[in-house]
Structure 1
Amino acid sequence: MAETETRTGPSRRTILTASLVGTSIEWYDYYIFGTAAALVFGTLFYPQFSTAAGTIAAFGTFAMGFIARPLGAALFGHFGDRIGRKSMLVITLVITGGATFCIGLLPTYAAIGIGAPLLLVGLRLLQGLAVGGEWGGAVLIATEHARPAQRAFYGSFAQFGVPIGVLTSNLAFLAVSGLPDASFLSWGWRIPFLLSVLLILVGVLVRARLADTRDFAQVKQREGVSRMPFGELVRTEPRNLALACLASIAPPATGYMVIVYMLNYGTQAAGFARPTLLALILASTLVWIAAIVVAGLAADRFGAKRIYVLGALTAVIWPFPMFALVDTGHWGAAGLAFFVAAIVQGIMAGAQGGLFTELFDARFRYSGISIAYQMGGMIGGALTPIVATSLYAATGSSAPLALYLTALCAITLVTVLGLRVRTAPTG
């Protein structure tokens, strides 16, 4: 395929770059909040609580972003199905980056009291609202430009944004984590948030080159644009929508247990140094990216649903061995735990974009895949760090944590089997 712009649409390089760069920047913005919640927000914004309660409060603030994400999915999905995919991608990128930059400027509880956590919650909600509309648009801008036989591979580029966001956010915090504690708590933690403004400029420039997708153009040509995409979605595809929401739980549940909760658990319960854990999670993201590539290619060859089922099965199996390895307190064992978890996530991520594109008609596809993905993220991602912290505080054991994660992943394994996939996505 030629790598130049043509009259039929943007080049493959432009499409994949826009999908990859934009999601990477938005997930960087999103994940630095999770890292900060594990490392500093409890101390700076909830100092009136005990250590455990402050951590739970910080994770609760982190969870507020997940609550806003389904609302963002419905909002931006509605306009993405009515106006187009491209414009929503630019808007969500600007909103997320602006909220992230403002978090880096926030005064702490010591400076303004209760106003500090209230402002933090408000910006987190705004951040979550915009991220809620990001994933669906980024997936569709890639998959709806691709031939049916390449949709999973194209969709996997949007999925790269998650591990790359983790990688870059961890790199940013790793760069400042070596500062003395006083400096880190005073100004060092702010640097990763403030850097967001530079990344947003890059993302907007890349996405401005996009044209809307062929599938959406075909809907417009036959005057098939839905007036109420969400209502039509619920009326015509309620079963697939409900199952897709539940099938989306395992990837964020596994991911947030590792990249967010483990930063707290590993330092307080397993005795790891903060830079060690950050470095191990950073290294595991490279495995995650490689697994996404392989899974995306395999999904196009063997079927996206089959590969996603395989990933869900490994997600059910891995939680108990993962915690057992981390509990050894040895960095090599913990690294193995995180690397395998990255493969588990990568298998599901590589297939998910192609699979979800095949579930819904183009008239309401942006709404359908966005709501399903974000509802799964809310259940699997928002609750997991909070429940894990509470379970460990109550029991002092990692076994209930592993059991909880296994149960969430089992829900995904069962429900994905019931999804009805189209033979080829249609517009």
Structure 2
Amino acid sequence: MSDTTPSRKGIFAASFIGTAIEWYDYYIFGTAAALVFGTLFFPRFSSVAGTLAAFATFAVGFVARPLGAAVIGHFGDRIGRKSMLVLTLVLTGGATALIGLLPTYAVIGVGAPLLLVLLRLLQGFGVGGEWGGAVLIATEHAAGRRRAVYGSFAQFGVPIGVLTSNLAFLAVAGLPDEAFASWGWRVPFLLSIVLVVVGLLVRSRLQDAPEFQRVKERNATSTVPLRELFRRHPRVLALASLASIAPPAVGYTVIVYMLSYGTQVLGYERTTLLSLILLSTVVWVATIVVAAVLADRYGSRPVYVIGALTAVIWPWPMFGLVNTGSAALAGLAFAVAAVVQGIMAGAQGGLFSEIFPVRVRYSGISIAYQVGGMVGGAVTPIVATALFGATGSSTPIALYVAALSVLTLVAVLGLREGSGRAEEADAEVPVR
């Protein structure tokens, strides 16, 4: 293979490995926020208030993600996908490693949570440009009706990030509480240094796809992609953003909120919940594979609609199973939630790469994905904690997640698959 025509394995490695590393970085923060950050960085608050403060710090990263998507997406559309993917890896991995070295509130007082927030912002900024670039480096190399399968390469990084982050915390979760609070929680963060080096070695070998290179050769890249995106594609951007809400809403309810709710309210051991979430990621990955193959055969949009519909239905039964206190039933709840996420994840990369033209594609899919992540992922653990604190019931939480999923279902029904490519076929020289 030439440098400009990489093997499928090379594309998979560059898209998947870097994304897995960056989501590992991102998810270990969520796990730490649920398990330990409240007491280490916000010790003057009550238990509930400390958890809320820790989740708020977790949410700060989501606020930075749309900004990162806009800035990194701009340069991704102007300069190229590969260079931005290297940048996102360095930003996210560096911030994660520094979090592992942070002194706590007991050591430096209010400076500790302030530094934690600052590094979380940097981490979120890097992640903001990651997913879009990883999807495009794969889908723009895809031939024919293989875009969903290639687009799913980046999607594997999300459950694998959950899997590896939970494995990392499981390795230290059995430590005595004092040791875990002192140094055990830091180990998963510091491991990021090794992972980033591996990711950089893989991504440095890949080139941008011919599809984007042809745009550069014609000098047809957008001068200001963000301006063009909002001026010419506001409807598609809005619908894609809403369509991106349900996957993180379901996902973060399980992998972040359930850790707090399950241990503090229902009495599950933290190692039990971490193990159940870990096992559910196997189902998640398998579902992504099946959904991606079906999306290439029957269309990404119909498959995504099915996933969104299941996201509307499942939250209430999921909480009902977890509330029994049975680890087996909680495992079933998490496994079905993984199927719900996997259906949408398998179709999302292919669908989103089809609805925006190549000139603004990096910006478009990145912003849409991150806005959806902010609404569905950042807010959900906070709202869930507040709803349970106010009502003492999980039913309002289930209804809230279902309502978010209804927004996604309605939005994806309004998207037109292939519209971005049809526009490019109709216009030799788009408006600059």
TM-score, scaled to structure 2: 0.97
Instruction: Report what 1:14 is aligned to.
Output: 10
**What is the RMSD computed on CA atoms of the aligned residues?**
0.9
Task: Give unmatched runs, 5+ long, in structure 1.
Answer: none
Partners of 2:419 and 2:125 in 1: CA distance: 32
Instruction: Report what 1:149 is aligned to.
Output: 145
> Is 1:103 aligned to residue 103 of structure 2?
no
Q: CA deviation at 1:12?
A: 1.2
> Is 1:234 aligned to residue 248 of structure 2?
no
Q: Deviations over 1:207-262 (max 9, x none)?
A: 00000112111111221111100111111111000110011000000000000000
Q: CA deviation at 1:270?
A: 1.6
Instruction: Report what 1:82 is aligned to.
Output: 78
Partners of 2:418 and 2:138 in 1: CA distance: 18
> Is 1:91 aligned to residue 84 of structure 2?
no
Task: State which of 140, 158, 162 in structure 1 corresponds to 2:158.
Answer: 162
Q: Structure 1 residues 206, 8: CA separation in 2 closer, same or farther (over 3 Å shift)? A: closer
Task: State which of 314, 332, 348 in structure 1 corresponds to 2:310.
Answer: 314
Amino acid in structure 1 at the alignment position of 2:92 = T
Instruction: Report what 2:385 is aligned to.
Output: 389
Q: Structure 1 residues 7, 19: CA separation in 2 closer, same or farther (over 3 Å shift)? A: closer
Amino acid in structure 1 at the alignment position of 2:125 = L
Instruction: Report what 1:372 is aligned to.
Output: 368
Instruction: Report what 2:323 is aligned to.
Output: 327
Task: State which of 274, 280, 283 in structure 1 corresponds to 2:279.
Answer: 283
Moved more, 175-184 or 221-230: 221-230
Partners of 2:320 and 2:28 in 1: CA distance: 27
Q: Structure 1 residues 235, 268: CA separation in 2 closer, same or farther (over 3 Å shift)? A: same
Task: State which of 213, 216, 221 in structure 2 corresponds to 1:220.
Answer: 216
Partners of 2:146 and 2:315 in 1: CA distance: 32
Q: CA deviation at 1:51?
A: 0.1
Partners of 2:94 and 2:344 in 1: CA distance: 30
Instruction: Report what 1:246 is aligned to.
Output: 242
Task: State which of 64, 71, 78 in structure 1 corresponds to 2:60.
Answer: 64
| Contact residue 148 and residue 424 of structure 1 kept, 8 A | no
> Is 1:191 aligned to residue 187 of structure 2?
yes
Task: State which of 347, 356, 379 in structure 1 corresponds to 2:352.
Answer: 356
Q: CA deviation at 1:8?
A: 4.3
Instruction: Report what 1:204 is aligned to.
Output: 200
Q: CA deviation at 1:421?
A: 2.1
Task: State which of 343, 353, 374 in structure 2 corresponds to 1:347.
Answer: 343
Task: Give unmatched runs, 5+ long, in structure 2.
Answer: 425-432
Task: State which of 398, 402, 413 in structure 1 corresponds to 2:398.
Answer: 402
> Structure 1 segments of 4 or more deviating over 6 A?
none
| Contact residue 291 and residue 350 of structure 1 kept, 8 A | yes
Partners of 2:182 and 2:85 in 1: CA distance: 34
Q: Deviations over 1:273-327 (max 9, x none)?
A: 1000000000000000000000000000000000000000000000000000000
Amino acid in structure 1 at the alignment position of 2:371 = M
Q: Structure 1 residues 200, 353: CA separation in 2 closer, same or farther (over 3 Å shift)? A: same
Instruction: Report what 1:305 is aligned to.
Output: 301
SS of 1:370's partner is helix
Instruction: Report what 1:411 is aligned to.
Output: 407
| Contact residue 177 and residue 275 of structure 1 kept, 8 A | yes
Identity %: 71
Q: CA deviation at 1:6?
A: 2.3
Partners of 1:274 and 1:326 in 2: CA distance: 14
Partners of 2:375 and 2:420 in 1: CA distance: 29
SS of 2:129's partner is helix
Partners of 2:418 and 2:208 in 1: CA distance: 23
| Contact residue 355 and residue 420 of structure 2 kept, 8 A | no
